[in-house]
Structure 1
Amino acid sequence: MRGLAILGLVLLAPALSAVAAERMRGVAVTEERIALVVGNAAYRNDPLDNPVNDARLIAKSLKQSGFSVSLQENLDRRGLVDALREFGNHLDENTIAVLYYAGHGLQLRDRNYLIPVDAEIRSEDEIPIAGVDLGFMLGRMSTARSRINIVILDACRNNPFSGKGGPRAQGLAQMDAPVGTLLAYATAPGKLAADGSGANSLYATHLARHLLTPGLPIEHVFKRVREGVVRDTREQQIPWESSSLQGEFAFVPGVAATREAAADVDAAGELAFWSSIQASNRADEYRAYLRQYPNGRFAALAQTRVAVFTVPPAAPPQATAARPDTLPRAGDTWRYRVQDQFRIGDLFLTAKVDGVTADGVAETWTTTSDAKLRTTLVPLEPGFSTLPGWTLTPPEFAPYLQAAQPLRVGQRLPELTRSVDQLLVPLSGRVEAEEDVVVAAGRFKALKLVLRGQTATRSVARARAVSVEHVVWYVPEVKRSVKATVSTTVGSSLREATTVELMEFKLH
């Protein structure tokens, strides 16, 4: 059976021998962080108080988090286009890019325009020639294939042109984020944000503070910003995001504090978000809620409304049921949270499949602990795999084991070894049970594999025995392990106590 499975991989997977060889060696690349920060305040007809101050505050915070920042102030149309063009020219697949814009912004026919300080708009038809279409920058980001693009629009202030026979639409329009992009709005689409009575707007104040939290995933940063703004404005302003990010990212790499991670899904922020869309008949708005709160209190209702407001595609003629496939595909992603008794907080990891060969699964890994992009080849056969330059978690045991061979209760694995303190600990494995397992990604019927082993006391230096236990839960329809625990003792001291839990996943 195992031979047939491997043969099937060779026939089904693309020829990635060169990629596989590279992944087998393992690569860790530190990506370049660049940012363009624009503050437009000196408008001819309606100057604003805070955009320049906000831009300076955000630029300072981004510099503190390791970005190379270009700070631009009070740009006319030519200056704004030139700044965006120059920024776009520096983007490539090894960059993490941030665009922050504070100032006036307008929407027209579901497109958003950044307004330069020299704009004079007397009618809606003049918006495209007086403003700069945000789609221009999104297109450059998409073409450059940057792994992560972050566009922050603190541009939903009052419309200075509406009282002069000009456009009446307020705020910005809802836009879908291109792949690998997070779009963040200071307030919900079609709504207005306050310029602020102090030196900075509320949105910029909260953003500057939370993005400097070590190890905090970017999605959590913006949720906390939303919670703070909602609280301080008494639900009059509700920040909004649209995300298609596929990897992990933290503005400041490190380990997130456990209490902060556990309190991430803030009740007030979620309730305010739901209140802003609950009367909508647009499926995309409910999808946006589900992306932000996949396990939120209104998740079931949001899923129902997505189904109600989405027109299902016509079924293909003579469609046939396909056999469930346990093999991963290029583009499949899984996001995990790692909790460890010996650290003060949590880590977040994302694994993405680049390709599948007979030698294993080529993966790209990102984490919130650092700014590195790691690639590796994960074998399909039983065994342990590690990431290049990675020591913060125990080695992962065969996450794709069920893809190489069918698992059944009572099945035993060949004897394996794992190195602990330069000692090889023999491990024996057995599929012990089929049981329900509940993780953040959902409730699943899983097969539980347990590996245990111990060195003989007489063979251990200083007469200290080493005991190791790995427990892994497999779910065929998820195509990768959904949970794992590791416990290691050296003598009488607990050395490892780690839990890895699946948060969410996306299959192609």
Structure 2
Amino acid sequence: MHRDVLFAFFAAVFFSVFATPAFADNRVALVIGNSTYARVPHLPNPVHDAEDVAAALKRSGFDTIVATDLDKAGMDEAMIRFARAAHTADVAMFYYTRHALQFAGIDYLVPVDAQLNDGADLRRLVRVDDVIADMQPAKSLRILVLDSCRDNPLAEQLKRSIGTARSASIGRGLAKIDSPDGMIVSYATQPGRTAEDGNGRNSPYTTAFLRNVEAKEEIGTIFRRISAEVYQATHQMQLPELSLSLIGEFYLNGKLQITATPATTPAPVDPCAAPTDHWKSAEAINTKAAYEDHLARFPTCSFADLARAKIAALTTPDSAKDRRRFDGIWLGKLVCESTPSGLPGWSYELTGRVADGVFHAEKGRAGKPGSQTFDGTIEPDGTADILQKGWSGARDPFHRPLGTEFNNTYLTKFDGPHGSGTRSDRASCNVKFTKR
């Protein structure tokens, strides 16, 4: 009996020491996912993204703070905890998923209780440069991940409230951050672009992050592979932006050790055995010629698709030609369903024209009671913010005084001969277009 107890004791010690990965450095992470916004439609993925990322980081030795659906007070409290932890950390990571916006070149993260009536309400948000400052005390490595560059209805509300002249300060997507030394900054997509939410449990970016973050690879290789997988998974529509300011190599989960058995005959040379070092050099040079050289050397290897994307980004696009593919006459139908809260429903048809990528439609004589105009520019990828400007008529469902001006924005996507969009402030209002 005594011998069995000793055996059990030593077996427990063995597995606790050798079965659990050991990490010599002190790692901290803050993971935030905001899904349930008070004033814009619910997002299905961010809570799942945060939970799954937090679990993966814990397995990689991070002391992880995970929080979801945070209001401004909750985000401030989480950031205070994270800032204190980063002061004694070797590695600090911040992972944020969902609504964010840029104003005058500054990026902001959006709590679930955010309300943006004017520029002063930006104080209700969290500045990304404050997050970077909180991470700076970490000794070895700082990692900032923003899976948050999707279309943001709150930004559209702010645009309408501050007027046309100042709305140019509100950019599409997020602004680029220059990463300080010893830091990795990764966006879900390029600055000024928007990212997909995805149809599964996780967004395309988080899906690729979870697939790679626990690999026994150098951290730069991991993030480059994440970018390549997102680009492929989104059919070349979403290319993550990556900024690396590192000296030397860093491994989150140790370097992969391979023991080779001597062969009697030389093994065939693998043309994709070592594209990583060449890719690092091409990325450091960051010219079209450097990426073309990498593609010529490694046309079927890991970074081939990413090299093609970089070449395309460095090639001046014929944006006018891309937009003109939508030129022509478009028939549209706008439908607003009634809501349980008492908002009335209605529908009507309209005819619009696209010329040089610019959409315009009129209903009635502009400026007169009961008239409406629809205007917007279709981007090369088919996205367009269609502004509806109208003046209430005699049968106005909201009983507004005759001739009252109103404005709405429809976040629209054109694809081939079809287009569809949703009103930014009312999900029950939709528009569908068909090219004649």
Scaled by the length of structure 1, what TM-score is found? 0.46
1:36 maps to 30
Q: Structure 2 residue aligned with 1:147, among 140, 154, 174?
A: 140
Cα distance in 2 for partners of 1:126, 1:239 equals: 31
Residue 220 of structure 1: CA displacement? 0.7
Identity of aligned residues (%): 33
Q: Structure 2 residue aligned with 1:135, among 129, 134, 143?
A: 129
Question: Matches of residues 351-366 of structure 1 in structure 2 within 5 Å?
Answer: none
Question: Matches of residues 49-64 of structure 1 in structure 2 within 5 Å?
Answer: 49-64=44-59
Q: Structure 2 residue aligned with 1:78, among 56, 73, 82?
A: 73
Residue 263 of structure 1: CA displacement? 4.7
Question: Matches of residues 67-216 of structure 1 in structure 2 within 5 Å?
Answer: 67-92=62-87, 94-123=89-118, 125-126=119-120, 128-142=122-136, 144-164=137-157, 165=160, 168-214=170-216, 216=217
* 1:239-275 C-alpha deviation (Å, 9 max, x unpaired): 1111212242122113267988735441101221332
Indicate yes or no: 2:269 matched with 1:267: no
* 1:288-319 C-alpha deviation (Å, 9 max, x unpaired): xxxxxxxxxxxxxxxxxxxxxxxxxxxxxxxx
User: For 1:153, what is the secondary structure of its paired residue?
Assistant: strand
* 1:307-347 C-alpha deviation (Å, 9 max, x unpaired): xxxxxxxxxxxxxxxxxxxxxxxxxxxxxxxxxxxxxxxxx
Residue 163 of structure 1: CA displacement? 4.0
Q: How many residues align?
A: 249
Cα distance in 2 for partners of 1:121, 1:59 equals: 30
2:240 maps to 239
Does the 8 Å CA contact 2:92/2:138 hold for their aligned counterparts? no
Does the 8 Å CA contact 2:48/2:202 hold for their aligned counterparts? yes
Does the 8 Å CA contact 1:238/1:273 hold for their aligned counterparts? no
Call closer, same or farther: CA 1:128–1:75 in 2, change over 3 Å. Answer: same
Residue 46 of structure 1: CA displacement? 2.3
Residue 138 of structure 1: CA displacement? 0.9
Call closer, same or farther: CA 1:277–1:108 in 2, change over 3 Å. Answer: farther
The amino acid across from 1:175 in the alignment is I
Cα distance in 2 for partners of 1:186, 1:136 equals: 20
Between 1:186-195 and 1:239-248, the stretch displaced more is 239-248
Does the 8 Å CA contact 1:218/1:251 hold for their aligned counterparts? yes
Residue 145 of structure 1: CA displacement? 4.5
Residue 90 of structure 1: CA displacement? 1.1
Does the 8 Å CA contact 1:113/1:127 hold for their aligned counterparts? no
Cα distance in 1 for partners of 2:234, 2:257 equals: 27
The amino acid across from 1:83 in the alignment is A
The amino acid across from 2:176 in the alignment is Q
Does the 8 Å CA contact 1:158/1:192 hold for their aligned counterparts? yes
Q: Structure 1 residue aligned with 2:315, among 248, 270, 278?
A: 278
* Larger RCO, structure (CA 8 Å, separation 6 or more): 1
The amino acid across from 1:72 in the alignment is A
1:446 maps to none
* 1:51-102 C-alpha deviation (Å, 9 max, x unpaired): 1111111111111111111110010111111111110111136420111000
User: For 1:48, what is the secondary structure of its paired residue?
Assistant: coil
Cα distance in 2 for partners of 1:46, 1:53 equals: 17
The amino acid across from 1:179 in the alignment is D
Cα distance in 1 for partners of 2:67, 2:122 equals: 22
* 1:202-256 C-alpha deviation (Å, 9 max, x unpaired): 1101111111111x11111111111111111111000111121224212211326
* 1:434-483 C-alpha deviation (Å, 9 max, x unpaired): xxxxxxxxxxxxxxxxxxxxxxxxxxxxxxxxxxxxxxxxxxxxxxxxxx
User: For 1:182, what is the secondary structure of its paired residue?
Assistant: strand
Q: Which has the higher strand share?
A: 1
1:47 maps to 42
- Supply the RMSD in Å over aligned alpha carbons: 2.2
Does the 8 Å CA contact 2:101/2:155 hold for their aligned counterparts? no
Does the 8 Å CA contact 1:122/1:161 hold for their aligned counterparts? no
User: For 1:138, what is the secondary structure of its paired residue?
Assistant: helix
1:429 maps to none
Cα distance in 1 for partners of 2:245, 2:66 equals: 26
Cα distance in 2 for partners of 1:219, 1:210 equals: 11
1:331 maps to none
Residue 150 of structure 1: CA displacement? 0.3
Structure 2: segments with no counterpart, 5+ residues? 1-22, 162-166, 261-269, 280-302, 318-436
Does the 8 Å CA contact 1:37/1:99 hold for their aligned counterparts? yes
Q: Structure 2 residue aligned with 1:66, among 53, 61, 77?
A: 61
Residue 127 of structure 1: CA displacement? 5.4
User: For 1:246, what is the secondary structure of its paired residue?
Assistant: coil
Does the 8 Å CA contact 2:185/2:244 hold for their aligned counterparts? yes
Call closer, same or farther: CA 1:48–1:94 in 2, change over 3 Å. Answer: closer
User: For 1:63, what is the secondary structure of its paired residue?
Assistant: helix
1:319 maps to none
Cα distance in 2 for partners of 1:84, 1:74 equals: 14
The amino acid across from 2:144 in the alignment is V
Call closer, same or farther: CA 1:57–1:94 in 2, change over 3 Å. Answer: closer
User: For 2:153, what is the secondary structure of its paired residue?
Assistant: coil
* 1:370-417 C-alpha deviation (Å, 9 max, x unpaired): xxxxxxxxxxxxxxxxxxxxxxxxxxxxxxxxxxxxxxxxxxxxxxxx
Residue 177 of structure 1: CA displacement? 0.4
Question: Matches of residues 313-352 of structure 1 in structure 2 within 5 Å?
Answer: none
Cα distance in 2 for partners of 1:274, 1:99 equals: 30
